[in-house]
Chain A
């Protein structure tokens, strides 16, 4: 165990944890915005898969990673239009429509991969960017300030989304649409338009999350996410619909994976406990969810389509 608490090992573990947390954080931040407006989107995982494939295929064809990321984001936006149309305009049952989007994303990304790519080939991944001066801070510099641009972006979005939700008129309208859409409507808030916007933001970030996951792995395979998009939805509850809380949950989940892998590597977790240890990240998240989330309440109109006069 003492071997784990060496600078090199701790640095590598924390750095890996942050890298693992980034896709969850991006998807969960997007889902937070959507849920604060009253729309729950269970199709996050499917959107991540579609955008991951789009990013992968673009990178494979062009070799341009930044263009590939833009395509991934664009894919998220397109799916955002679909999701918003179904959930907001058509006022479908959001749980069912979300599952439909998930299944569509799962199946279509697999189909496209088989037909357009076939045998998987690795692509280039993003190089870490060392933040000058900060990366030389003793003890923590190597942990936090030698990450890829998407990891930095994920964590930078936390204060941005916090500001958006709590300090802007737009954010106030989002929260109003999620708490009491009838009251918001009565004072002139276009609830449908606000929810459309929130869902678009959410799905765009889910698209970015898919791109981030793909570029972390460097290769696409069928069902790349292994349904971890649903973890992102759970993290919204864990974070009590607050970006900072969501960030905490994402880092906790990423850290649990990273620590388990490192402990297995160092032999701290014996082979006989290896499979049990693999469940640790999910168990820890569920326990934290049960402990933390009970103290906060969800947006009052979450999951309820709004119809004027209804």
Chain B
């Protein structure tokens, strides 16, 4: 029985709509960009970055993307980026594709990619994989791991937060309790408690893990819950914090950022941000790879090696005494006089 032409046309339109939407999503959301630098005496290193969020997320992915871009010329890199790959199975296909294409280093920037790296790395022994934030290389010769001692900056910021809070109630919005997110949260809580002990007051640090790195609606709801609980200083980790920062701005609460400088999101509410700089450890990896070592090492960025920096927001009028305390803590952590608990 022949199909009604109108129905046939409708099916065609529906199929076109699906194709158009998929193509728009693919081209817009998961843009794979490649850029080359001018060849120099150093051999060109092909580096691919696979990340769960946008390269301009003002958080996790932006920190790694910016570090790579900053090294493009000096390290003679050819960089490919696949962003917004929050679906792990899709990311696995993309990582494998890069490996097939002969990329020298594939950076799987997200703790959720761990099992993917563990299964793919043995299939491509001549490709170097870097996985973070995590400490495990799975004992494989071609896997680097990298992580951030985000607990260090968290400690400093938690200390400041406790001093600045009038209600002495802090709200900490975590995504998932893993990797640098958990380290940061633990460090922040420890810093807040240290400030309370040193200054003889009581502080309450509410912590919630929303269960998602990307759900900024849930992060916003989390922040609202904390505000309802009396918190006047908030912090959080992951690319979904933009939702929580919006709440801090609208409810006139203070915010401490991590992973990237978040001052632009709330110029008068962000006190400071712990900014990651992955460039020093990336340079080490590139040197190792060029020397023939493809992995089996873990790199850590921290306040002491220039991989982390506390960026004080000039738009917020931070009291001199609190800033002095913070700078003193940074020096003590850098010198090893304080070991921040993990």
Residues of A at under 8 Å CB distance from B? 8-9, 11-13, 15-16, 19-20, 46, 86, 90-93, 96-97, 99-108, 110-115, 118-125, 213, 216-219, 221-226, 228, 257-258, 261-262, 264-266, 271, 274-275, 277-279
Pick from A11, A15, A108, A119: contact of B24, CB under 8 Å:
A108
- Please report whether the interface of chain A is mostly helix, strand, loop or mixed according to DSSP: helix
Q: Select which of B14, B17, B22, B246 is within 8 A of A122 by beta carbon.
A: B246
CB neighbours of A13 from chain B (8 A): 225, 228
Contact A221 to B225, CB < 8 A, known contacts A8-B230, A274-B177, A278-B210: no
Does B228 lie within 8 Å of A12, measured CB to CB?
A: yes
Closest 6 CB pairs of A and B: A12-B228, A278-B211, A103-B21, A111-B28, A218-B246, A107-B25
B18 touches A264 (CB 8 A): no
Q: With A119-B56, A217-B243, A222-B29 known to touch, is A104 a contact of B20 (CB < 8 Å)?
A: yes
A225 and B21 CA atoms in complex are apart in Å by 16
Q: Across the interface, do A110 and B7 meet the contact criterion of CB distance under 8 Å?
A: no
**Which among B6, B10, B250, B266 has the greatest number of chain A C-beta atoms within 10 A?**
B10
Q: Tell yes or no: B216 within 8 A of A by CB.
A: yes
Q: In whole Å, how far is A175's beta carbon from the nearest beta carbon of chain B?
A: 25
Among B6, B31, B207, B208, the most chain A Cβ lie within 10 Å of the Cβ of B208
- Shortest C-beta distance, A188 to chain B (Å), equals 23
Q: How far is the CA of A92 from the CA of B11 in the complex (A)?
A: 6
Q: How far is the CA of A8 from the CA of B225 in the complex (A)?
A: 11
Known contacts A90-B9, A275-B176; decide if A110 and B249 are in contact (CB<8 Å). no
Q: 6 new A-B pairs (CB below 8 Å) besides A123-B246, A124-B250, A278-B211?
A: A12-B225, A93-B11, A107-B21, A107-B26, A122-B249, A219-B245
Which residues of chain A come closer than 8 Å to B266, judged between CB atoms?
A: 122
Q: Does B209 contact A (CB under 8 A)?
A: yes
**Docked pose: A261 CA to B176 CA in angstroms:** 14
Please name 10 pairs of A and B residues whose Cβ atoms are closer than 8 Å in the assembled complex, sorted by A: A9-B229, A86-B13, A100-B14, A101-B17, A107-B20, A107-B26, A122-B242, A257-B221, A274-B177, A275-B211
* Number of A-B contacts defined by CB within 8 Å: 200
Chain B interface SS verdict (over half): helix
CB atoms of B228 and A224 under 8 A apart: no
Find out whether the CB atom of A274 lies under 8 angstroms from the CB atom of B217: no
Which B residues between 217 and 236 are near A, CB-CB below 8 angstroms?
217-218, 220-222, 224-230
Complex contact B25–A110 (CB within 8 A): yes
Name the B residues within 8 Å of A96 (CB-CB): 11, 14, 18
* B246 close to A125 (CB less than 8 A): yes
Within B103-162, which residues are at the interface with A (CB < 8 Å)?
none
**B226 closest partner in A (C-beta):** A265
Query: B212 at interface (Cβ–Cβ under 8 A)?
Result: yes
Interface residues of B in 1-41 (CB under 8 A from A): 4, 6-7, 9-11, 13-15, 17-18, 20-29, 31
Please provide the chain B residues from 238 to 289 with a CB less than 8 Å away from any CB of chain A in the complex.
240, 242-243, 245-247, 249-250, 264-266
Q: Provide the residues of chain B in CB contact with A110, threshold 8 Å.
A: 24-25, 28-29, 84
